[in-house]
Amino acid sequence: MSRNRASRPSRYSRSARLGELLREIVASELSRLDDDRLELASITGVETSVELSRATVYISALDDEAAASALEALEDHRVGLKQAVARSSSIRKVPDLAFALDPSIAAGERVDKILRHLADEAE
């Protein structure tokens, strides 16, 4: 008796798979947009809600000013990005997109600062 696809366990959750698809599409669209505010920004990840109705797109930028302008630009292009996701995928309902700075970047910088401080004390 053969098993259908629905009965096999997935390696990744549906929200993780959707998040990866959205990350690829949004990153691709960003490279096509002609907006100077997005030159120094990159997509680091996408987190989707459990019900798949909302997706938070995380970005990183070189400095706070570039990050603020990139977030503003993404808000300005939100509708176009959502339309691009609809065109490029077979998703029935495209999630609402929200944009935020990637908190892991700041956390990594904090850890790096602590490690440098400890190394200086050891010397």
Q: What is the pLDDT of residue 59?
A: 94
**CB of 29 closer than 8 Å to CB of 84:** yes
pLDDT at position 6 is 54
Give the mean pLDDT per block of 10 residues along the chain (123 residues): 51 84 93 89 91 93 88 95 92 93 82 88 79
* CATH number of the 9-122 domain: 3.30.300.20
Sketch the domain layout of the chain as residue ranges.
9-122
In this prediction, residue 28 carries a pLDDT of: 93
- The pLDDT assigned to 44 comes to 92
